[in-house]
Amino acid sequence: MSQDVMHPPPEDAEARRAIEPVICYPNQTLRAAPLDLYRAARASAQETGRLRIPAREAGCFTLSAGSFFRISCPEGSQVGDLNLFSARNLDEHFFSGKTRALHGSHVSVGDRLWSCLPYLRPMATVVDDSLAWYGVDTHGGRVHDVIGTRCDPYTHHLLQGVDYHQTCHSNLTRALATHLGKPLAEVEGLVHDVLNVFMCTGFTQDTGQYFMKASPARQGDYIEFFAEIDLLGVLSVCPGGDCGQEHSSDAATCWPLEVSIHAPAAGMLDGWYSPAPNRYARRHAPS
C-alpha cells in the first residue's frame, strides 16, 4: 500500500483502522452439505471413467448429477485449473468470485462451487481433500485457491512481451474447442475464472500482492467433489507445475493430473435432489 504525501493520516487514523471487521456474506443460512449422505454414497460407488491429462494440456470430462469426480496427482506435485459448466447449458458456469465471497479464498471439505448469475446454485461440493490438514501456513498460504483467475497469454504478453501458448487459459480453450467441435475463437469466451486445485496461495501482509508457493501436494494427493448438477468439467495442467517458481513458460517441472468418475449404487441418494437455479424473481426493480 503506498502512502500519499498529499493525504496524511487524520488524528483518528488508528481508531478508524481499529474498527472490527464483519463478514461480508455470513453463510450460516446456507443449507449445509449433507456430507454423511454423500460419504455413504461414495463408499458404495464404482469407478466409471478415468482421464489422465498430460503436462501443459487440458482435458474435458462429463458426469451426471449425483456422481463424484476426483482430481489427483498420480506422479508428482501439480497444480490444476478447473472450469465447470452445466452440461445442459454452457451459459451456466463456475463463479469463482462468489464462491470466494461465500466460503473464503480457498475451498475444502463441505464448501460448494457456485454457478454464475442468474443461476447461483451449487454445481459441486467438496467431499474429500487429502490436503485438508494444511490449513493456513505462516505466510498466510492456503490450498485450493479461488483467488487467481488462471494463467493466460494476454497477461504474460503484457508483462513479458512474449507469446506463450500453453497457459491454462489457452489449454482450456483448446480442450473445450475440441470437445465441442467448434473453433478456438468461438469457445474462448466460455473459459472463465477457475478453481486452482492444489495451488497454495495468499496475499502478502506488506503489499497485499497475490503470492504463490510450492504446492504441498505430493504423488497420490487428491481432492474429490460431488456433482450437484450434470457437469462438463475442463481441467488444465498448469505449466507452472507445483507453482513454486513461475508459470506461463516451459521452465517448471510438470506432472500429469488424473480425473476419475465414480457413480454410487442405486438408492444411495434417496432423499437427495439436484438443486434448482436461484429463485430470485429477476425483476431488478422495487416495484
Q: Which of positions 58-87 make contact with Zn ion (CB under 5 A)?
A: 81
Nearer to Zn ion, 194 or 229 (CB): 194
Nearer to Zn ion, 145 or 230 (CB): 145
In this structure, what C-alpha cell is assigned to residue 208? 497485499
3-state secondary structure of 246: coil
Q: Which stretch binds Zn ion (CB under 5 A): 64-72, 98-106, 122-130, 151-159?
A: 151-159
3-state secondary structure of 39: helix
199-218 mask for Zn ion (x: CB under 5 A)? --------------------
Secondary structure (DSSP) of 85-106 = EETTEEEEEB-HHHHHHHH-SB
Task: Tell me the chain's radius of gyration from C-alpha atoms.
Answer: 20
Residue 150: how many CB atoms within 10 A of its CB?
24
What is the C-alpha to C-alpha distance for residues 116 and 93, in angstroms, rounded to an integer? Answer: 6
Q: Does 238 bind Zn ion (CB under 5 A)?
A: yes
What is the C-alpha to C-alpha distance for residues 191 and 170, in angstroms, rounded to an integer? Answer: 9
Nearest distance in Å: CB 81, Zn ion: 5
What is the C-alpha to C-alpha distance for residues 151 and 127, in angstroms, rounded to an integer? Answer: 27
Nearest distance in Å: CB 264, Zn ion: 32
Nearer to Zn ion, 24 or 159 (CB): 159
Q: Cell numbers 468470485 correspond to what residue?
A: 97
Nearest CA to 201 out of 72, 110, 79 is that of 79
Nearer to Zn ion, 187 or 238 (CB): 238
Nearer to Zn ion, 67 or 167 (CB): 167
3-state secondary structure of 151: coil
Count, residues near Zn ion per rule CB under 5 A = 4
Q: Does 168 bind Zn ion (CB under 5 A)?
A: yes
Nearest distance in Å: CB 4, Zn ion: 35
Q: Does 235 bind Zn ion (CB under 5 A)?
A: no
In this structure, what C-alpha cell is assigned to residue 187? 469457445
Q: Which stretch binds Zn ion (CB under 5 A): 3-11, 99-107, 187-195, 230-238?
A: 230-238
In this structure, what C-alpha cell is assigned to residue 36? 454423511
What is the C-alpha to C-alpha distance for residues 73 and 251, in angstroms, rounded to an integer? Answer: 19
Beta bridge partners of 59: 235
What is the C-alpha to C-alpha distance for residues 94 and 261, in angstroms, rounded to an integer? Answer: 19
Nearest distance in Å: CB 269, Zn ion: 34
Nearer to Zn ion, 81 or 224 (CB): 81
Nearer to Zn ion, 55 or 126 (CB): 55
Q: Which of positions 255-274 make contact with Zn ion (CB under 5 A)?
A: none
Q: Which stretch binds Zn ion (CB under 5 A): 20-28, 129-137, 219-227, 238-246?
A: 238-246
Residues binding Zn ion (CB under 5 A): 81, 151, 168, 238
